[in-house]
Structure 1
Amino acid sequence: MDQRKIARALLSVSDKTGLVDLARGLAERGVQLVSTGGTARALKEAGLEVQDVSDLTGFPEMMDGRLKTLHPKVHGGLLAKRDDADHAAAMQSHDIPAIDLLAVNLYPFVKTVEGGADYDTAVENIDIGGPAMIRAAAKNHDGVAVVVEPGDYARLLTALDENDGATPLSLRKELAAKAYAHTAAYDAAISRWFAEQIGDDTPQTRTFSGQLSSALRYGENPHQDAAFYKTGEKRFGVASAELVQGKALSYNNLNDTDAAYELVAEFDPEKAAAIAIIKHANPCGVAQAATLHEAYEKALACDSVSAFGGIVAANRPLDADAAEEIVKIFTEVIIAPDASDEAKEIISQKKNLRLLLAGGLPDPGEAGLTFRSLAGGFLVQGRDNRTLDPSNLKVVTKAQPSEVQLADMIFAFTVAKHVKSNAIVYAKDGATVGIGAGQMSRVDSTRVAFRKGQAAAEALGLKEGLTEGAVVASDAFFPFADGIEVLAEAGATAVIQPGGSMRDDEVIKAADRLGLAMVFTGLRHFRH
């Protein structure tokens, strides 16, 4: 049947947002209210007439509230098929009243865990009766409406007014779908927590859940559907950011903005201002300096052509001087921890420029998971949260790097962590001066970065290529000496790389022959 009247509602919520307004609205429409524990108390304090669930079941709540709704008179009232004669007879025989509406949300397990609760407290916040009732009501959506989100209370009351006190089947189906997603996400959070408690990094079943943040116009291409979901991870970035101005971000905008902000967060804002300019998830310029304005100018100089239509990320609150410089060329998105009022005013003159304020920087050393879909499955791995420890560096050549070279090498290797493999980064004076990304061979990436450095120098009217006197970082080892020969030809003076190749001796000899300093990190940063 399409229309189902609501005569009795069971309300049992942890989140009391909008509860009294919902209950009062139902009571005004002649609906009998049944409730439990704290929910019943809140409604009675609001002056509403409520039947305790223990009076409905004839059975008291017990075991510290663990047992209260797990009873045939509750589940029978939710599960009984309204148009089935046998079900109706069973209800009459056992005095089971029909429950036409269930409004339930669950014990705050996630918030409890995030608050640092101990093991026993976390377990006590695993809801049992709530999910059982939600699933029962959702299964029987032909006869029962189930609401799990306070945001749907007003819609429900409106539907009752529009349908003479009844709910349409279309709404009940929609609410049932939300209900199952709600319990699935709840169970996923619990299963992840349990895996962490027992130290299981590869549980037999891996579950993820997300809350819709926005439906996107399309994905990477116009013929692909797409949406952005938030996982609830407490990490500053695109999920935490406020869109201060500009139109909604696209799939590619979100992907590139995330890449830019994760990169720029590698640089401590207390030590230096840093800017990263990203295009197609790869940096086309990164720099650190005393101010954001100076850092932006240095980053832009690396590849001003690719920066057009790019994403700009800052590791400090955006100021007016930096904003004035950034808006001189077409930029899709700016993301920063915050921005001054003056910077916001400057950016507001560019109506299509999106400004995102993330509220803070993500911690590059924080653990977490990343995942990627494959045909018939997905890959899961820990976040690449290793940062370079200067004390672990090993100089393997006769030439020793200077302190200035070493600082640039660490900077370049940090950037290379965020460049698609094979990654080669030339850097000088705290700025990238040539980046080679995503090539099938490392020597090709070395050449691409060299040519980009030459092109950038020409654009700036310089006689000498930007890579002259630079250092070079490689995200993985050089398998042959040819890459070393190319970077020497580009004018590089020092190299930082993981090491570990079968031909390390050959590569080291080439560096010695060419007068280069070379440092091994023992740390690889592939990024595919």
Structure 2
Amino acid sequence: MTHLVPLRRALISVSDKTGLIEFARALATRGVELLSTGGTALTLRTAGLKVRDVAEVTGFPEMMDGRVKTLHPAVHGGLLALRDDAEHLAAMAAHGIEPIDLLVVNLYPFEATVAKGGDYADCIENIDIGGPAMIRAAAKNHAFVAVVVDVQDYDAVLAELDANGTQTSYAFRQKQAQIAYARTAAYDAAVSTWMAAALGETAPRRRAFAGELAQTLRYGENPHQNAAFYTDGSARPGVATARQWQGKELSYNNINDTDAAFELVSEFAPAHGPAVAIIKHANPCGVARGETLLEAYKRAYDCDRTSAFGGIIALNQTLDAATAEEICKIFTEVVIAPDACAEAREIFAAKKNLRLLTTGALADPAAPILGFRQVAGGFLVQDKDTGRISRDDLKVVTKRAPTEQELADLMFAWTVAKHVKSNAIIYVKDGATVGVGAGQMSRVDSTRIAARKAVDMAEALGMSDPLTRGSVVASDAFFPFADGLITAAEAGATALIQPGGSMRDAEVIAAADAAGLAMVFTGMRHFRH
């Protein structure tokens, strides 16, 4: 079905005036009459273009600070009239309604207003009413009307007109209608989500999520799955807002793992020293602090060199040349950092398959974020796990209290535990992970796996003792039995941090005392599924 419709009249009313003058001039040179409103009309006239005011069409001036200007039968009749319906044509003739063949509208910048922290009144004022109404009308009547809601579609409109003798095809109008409905849906989702938050509604009756396509992916987790990457418009530093300096496009798994890596390393403020996290399959295989980024990277790498191959590396400070040189010694998929010096970028340039991303800043680990996960027939919604503890929150439950060094390592291990898939066990020594057990059905299995990895790495490094000797252990949830704690003690751990709250806490505490361990309870757990 081609169903070509001549484009004789366009109504343009835009908030974002990027490319407006060039586009409107291109329409005018093709003989298209321009209708416009307020600031858009002024911009076009100032550029020397002939424009007809919507107020002239409606017979009513713009009023109420521009709130009422296009909500009129002369506008909506021109958008909604069926050009092949005799009654519609008669009504148009009787009431002097002229057809509108193209609607160009982008909406008040509500999302941008929210993102920059606008107050309640400012956000309300930036909720567009006339724009969405016109967009929906034009999209519904796409059998005859073309609608454009994105600046990036201006060139497509002109190409369509050139291909069809200043006419639009049904297929083009149909595609633009879908884009338009998606835009109004996303806009309404942004408004309803913001308002729910403003009212303190944690579980509103209806919940909507929306995103804008950032990248069509080659495939999803596996080659037989279709996938795409959408951004939500937030300014949170991370993989969605980062600048990619080099390397091929990120894959579905790259994006997922890079996000996990950057969220973890963002827990460590640069003011407290360099930190590096290495991620594989969304789990950390090494996290460490150091006096320098290079030292932090080497210590993180020495936790599990085998798993680090082909991993994702996240740094909490500007990537320097020395660290870049060291990273280049193994294959790495992605490196993400707040920034990278010119020399480091030059070093990476020789590694064409290595992606380098810079974010400008770390993410705020305490900032509230809403997450959702699809299940059959619905989806689960929850706040991001922003739970954090201080030393004052810890409860010493054993006869022996942890030393100052053990306390520092326990806090480090607990921070990492939040980012490891449950059941999670993390061994830490001197500000570096030395064993990570993740995603096991049994907590004791996670404890054993992490200890075994530490033994393997000690052998690879030529050390006689396992790296867990003299370490501390974090468990994301309570130990349901003493067996996991006993396994940690056998691996050489001297102190443990866990939420507590098991029916067998007394048994576990007794086992810790018997082994001479120090143990603290947090009263908070960090399940991550």
Question: TM-score, normalized by length of structure 2?
Answer: 0.98
Amino acid at match of 2:101: D
Determine the structure 2 residue equivalent to 1:131: 132
Q: What's the CA shift for 1:118? A: 2.8
- The one-letter code matched in structure 1 to 2:312 is I
Shift of residue 421 of structure 1? 0.2
Give the gaps of 5 or more residues in structure 2.
none
Residue 42 of structure 2 is matched in structure 1 by: 41
Question: What SS does the aligned partner of 2:69 have?
Answer: coil
Q: Which residue of 1 aligns with 2:461?
A: 460
> Partner of 2:271: helix, strand, or coil?
coil
Q: Secondary structure at the match of 1:519?
A: strand
Deviations 1:155-212 (A, max 9, x none): 2112112211111111111111111111111111111111112111100000011000
Q: Deviations over 1:486-528 (max 9, x none)?
A: 1111011011111111111111110000000001111111101
Within a 5 Å distance, the mapping from 1:42-121 to structure 2 comes to 42-121=43-122
Mapped to 1, the partners of 2:460 and 2:123 lie a distance apart of 60
Q: Residue 302 of structure 1: SS of its match in structure 2?
A: coil
1:174 aligns with 2:187: no
Q: How does 1:281-292 map to 2 (within 5 A)?
A: 281-292=282-293
Structure 2 match to 1:478? 479
**1:380 alignment partner, SS class:** strand
| Structure 2 match to 1:297 | 298
Q: Tell me the distance in 1 between the aligned counterparts of 2:527 and 2:354.
A: 32
CA shift, 1:6, in A, is: 0.7
User: Residue type matched to 1:512 in 2?
Assistant: D
* 1:158 alignment partner in structure 2: 159
Rounded Cα–Cα distance in structure 2 between residues aligned with 1:3 and 1:85: 19
Contact 2:109–2:126 (CA<8 Å) still a contact in 1? yes
Aligned to 2:442: 441
Once the two structures are overlaid, the 10-residue window that deviates more, 486-495 or 161-170, is 161-170
The residue correspondences of 1:375-524 to structure 2 (distance < 5 A) are 375-524=376-525
Per the alignment, residue 325 of structure 1 pairs with 326
- Could you tell me how far apart the structure 2 residues matched to 1:29 and 1:410 are? 68
The aligned counterpart of 2:340 is 339
Supply the AA of the counterpart residue of 1:443: V
Taking the TM superposition and a 5 Å limit, the aligned residue runs for 1:153-302 are 153-302=154-303
Letter of the aligned partner of 2:337 in structure 1? A
Partner Cα distance (2:273, 2:236) in 1? 22
Q: 1:475: how far off?
A: 0.4
> In 2, distance between residues paired with 1:410 and 1:202?
33
Secondary structure at the counterpart of residue 487 of structure 1: helix
Q: Is the CA contact 1:240–1:359 (under 8 Å) kept in the aligned structure 2?
A: no
Q: For 2:155 and 2:525, how far apart are their aligned partners in 1?
A: 54
Name the % identity.
Answer: 65
Deviation string 1:132-155 (CA, Å, 9 cap, x unpaired) is: 100000011110111111111122
Q: Give the distance between the partners of 1:416 and 1:116, measured in 2 at CA.
A: 32
Query: For residues 76 and 70 of structure 2, what CA distance do their matches in structure 1 show?
Result: 8
- Give the Cα separation in 2 of the matches to 1:384 and 1:234: 19
1:289-318 superposed Cα distances (whole Å, 9 cap, x missing partner): 011111111111111011111111111110
1:146 counterpart letter in structure 2: V
Contact 2:211 2:231 in 1 (8 A): yes
- Deviation string for 1:244-291 (max 9, x for gaps)? 010001000110110011111111111111111111000111110011
1:116 to partner: Cα distance: 3.1
Distance 1:349 1:8 in 2: 54
Residue type of the partner of 1:2?
Answer: H
Supply the distance in 1 between the matched residues of 2:204 and 2:265 (Cα, whole angstroms): 33
Larger mean CA deviation between 447-456 and 105-114 belongs to 105-114
Q: Is the 8 A contact 2:115 2:235 kept in 1?
A: no
Q: In 2, distance between residues paired with 1:500 and 1:403?
A: 25
Structure 1 residue ranges, 4+ long, deviating more than 6 angstroms after superposition: none
CA contact (8 A) 1:215 1:228 kept: yes
Contact 2:111 2:233 in 1 (8 A): no
Query: Which residue identity is paired with 2:327?
Result: I
Q: How many residues are treated as equivalent by the alignment?
A: 528
Query: 2 CA distance for matches of 1:486 and 1:348?
Result: 45
Aligned residue for 1:329, secondary structure, equals coil
Distance 1:471 1:435 in 2: 12
Once residues 379 and 55 of structure 2 are traced to their aligned partners in structure 1, the CA distance between those partners, rounded to angstroms, is: 46
Matching residue's letter, 1:278 = I
Query: Is 1:25 matched with 2:26?
Result: yes
Give the 3-state SS of the residue equivalent to 2:302 in structure 1: helix
Corresponding residue number in structure 2 for 1:362: 363
* AA in 2 matched with 1:410: M
SS at match of 2:272: coil
Q: Deviations over 1:340-377 (max 9, x none)?
A: 11111111111111111111100111111111110111
The corresponding residue for 2:17 is 16
Distance in 2 (alpha carbons) for counterparts of 1:146 and 1:347: 45
What secondary structure, in the 3-state scheme, does the structure 2 residue paired with 1:270 have? Answer: helix
Q: Which whole-Å CA distance do the structure 1 matches of 2:250 and 2:121 have between them? A: 42
1:118, 1:242 → 2: CA distance?
30
CA distance in 2, matches of 1:227, 1:435: 31
For residues 380-430 of structure 1, what are the alpha-carbon distances to aligned partners after superposition, in whole Å with 9 as ceiling and x for unaligned? 100111122111111111112111111011111111110000000001011
Deviation at 1:51, TM superposition (A): 0.9
Give the partner amino acid of 2:29. Answer: E
Q: Which amino acid aligns with 1:190?
A: V
DSSP-derived class of the 1:87 partner: helix
